[in-house]
Amino acid sequence: MPQDWLNGLIGGGLIGAGAGLYLLGAGRIAGISGIAGNVVDGLLDGLPRRALSAWSESLLFALGLLLAPIPFLALGGEIDIRIAAGAPALIVAGLLVGFGARLGSGCTSGHGVCGGSRLSRRSLAAMATFMAVAIAVVFLGRLV
Amino acid sequence: MRKIVAFLAGLVFGLGLLISDMANPARVLAFLDVAAIAEGTWDPTLAFVMGGAMAVSALAWLIAYRRSAPVFGGSLPGAPRQSVDARLLGGSALFGAGWGLAGICPGPALTAAGLGGAPMLLFIGAMLVGMVIYNRVDRMLTAAPA
């Protein structure tokens, strides 16, 4: 428990490094809802040739996330994924997260890590909104 | 080269989520549960993660502002839009409600897809359906005369 904040800082630094690498290497924002949404939109709307390389970059970034547990576990990392929500709550939460992040143009990574760190007005407003609502929902969850 | 960068960036980003334990929904909820402050059991880890991530990301922006183009071609993002509108705030509120309900957001969901069993896959499926619905609604809104 005492070293949790240190793991948080180190892990956070790596999250920022991944976002920085994507920005400086490829000029793109590491917003995961935007990346996943780009992949989904490409599949639904079809891909003109000029959009193909951006789409495949999004897909490869997502693939990097999906495969990250392999080096983590190989290096001796340990993680215990605990999900308290039941199936109905997970479905509602997933729908809200997917739809809401697309409508609001970003989530914790795009507005939080990327937009917030360049002090974008829109990202700061989005962050304040989703943090406040999430905290309120968790608080209400205590009452029921 | 840009494709290798994209893959490596995702990999490093995911490793960060795993090392910080943010891929674990219980850990995220423990931060959002501010009533635990009064009980002395509040978990501030997410604040350290966000602080570390934003500090490194801010550094990358400072370097980006001094460059005319990304290292491996293409163009850098332009200045951010300024308008705080209903779509931004409404979408963020819906996103926040879902995030508070399960403690899962898109990055941790994809990172823990292979670790979180059926519940995580259920969340991811619903999240992708939510994005498909947005795609359709957005098309209808854009097609409708203003």
Q: pLDDT confidence of B86, banded at 50, 70, 90? A: very high
**Whether the predicted pLDDT of A2 surpasses 70:** no
- How many Cβ atoms are within 10 Å of B136's Cβ, its own excluded? 10
Domain assignment present for A88: yes
Domain membership of residue A104 as a residue range: 83-144
Residue to mutate among A6, A14, A40, with most B CBs inside 10 A, is A14
Domain assignment present for A72: no
- List, for residues A82-136, the tens digit of each pLDDT value: 999 999 999 999 999 999 999 999 999 999 999 999 999 999 999 999 999 999 9
Q: pLDDT confidence of B143, banded at 50, 70, 90? A: confident
Is A136 in Cβ contact with B114 (below 8 Å)?
no
Chain B residues with CB inside 8 Å of A141's CB? 100-101
What are the sequence ranges of the domains in chain B?
2-143
B contact residues 38-67, partner A, Cβ 8 Å cutoff? 43-61, 63-64, 67
DSSP string for residues in B37-72: HHHT----HHHHHHHHHHHHHHHHHHHHHT-SS-TT
Considering only the beta carbons, identify the residue of B29, B50, B82 that sits closest to A121.
B82
Question: CB of B33 within 8 A of CB of A25?
Answer: no
Tokens of A95: 């729908």
Task: Report the C-alpha gap between A55 and B76 in whole angstroms.
Answer: 17
- List, for residues A69-96, the tens digit of each pLDDT value: 999 999 999 999 999 999 999 999 999 9
> Nearest chain B Cα to A92, which residue?
B98
Rounded to the nearest integer, the mean pLDDT of chain A is: 96
- List, for residues A20-36, the tens digit of each pLDDT value: 999 999 999 999 999 99
Chain B residues with CB inside 8 Å of A113's CB? 50, 53-54, 57
Give me the sign of the Cα torsion angle A110, A24, B51, A124.
negative
Q: pLDDT confidence of B146, banded at 50, 70, 90? A: low
Domain assignment present for A128: yes
Domain assignment present for A127: yes
Domain count, chain A: 1
Domain assignment present for A90: yes
- Minimal Cα–Cα distance from A99 to chain B, Å? 4
Phi, psi of B134 (to 5 degrees): -60, -45
**Whether the predicted pLDDT of A1 surpasses 60:** no
- List, for residues A7-20, the tens digit of each pLDDT value: 999 999 999 999 99
Name, in order, each residue with C-beta under 8 angstroms of A34's C-beta and a sequence gap of 6 or more: A105, A106, A110
Considering only the beta carbons, identify the residue of A67, A92, A108 that sits closest to B11.
A67
Q: What is the pLDDT of residue B29?
A: 98
Q: What percent of chain B has pLDDT over 70?
A: 98
Crossing angle, helix A121-143 and helix B86-102, to 10 degrees? 40
DSSP string for residues in A7-67: HHHHHHHHHHHHHHHHHHHH-----HHHHHHHHHHHHHH---GGGHHHHHHHHHHHHHHHH
Chain B residues with CB inside 8 Å of A69's CB? 14, 18, 111-112, 114-115
Task: Report the C-alpha gap between B15 and A76 in whole angstroms.
Answer: 12
Domain assignment present for A91: yes
Interior/surface letters B76-92, b for 16+ CB within 10 angstroms, e for the rest: beeeeeeeeeeebbebb
Is A65 in Cβ contact with B54 (below 8 Å)?
no
Q: How long, in residues, is chain B? A: 146
- Residue B101 sits at the chain A interface (C-beta within 8 Å): yes
Tokens of A134: 């999430």
Q: What is the pLDDT of residue B10?
A: 98
Domain assignment present for A65: no
Considering only the beta carbons, identify the residue of A11, A64, A107 that sits closest to B106.
A107
Is A139 in Cβ contact with B130 (below 8 Å)?
no
Domain assignment present for A132: yes
Tokens of A109: 């990574």
Task: Report the C-alpha gap between A104 and A110 in whole angstroms.
Answer: 10
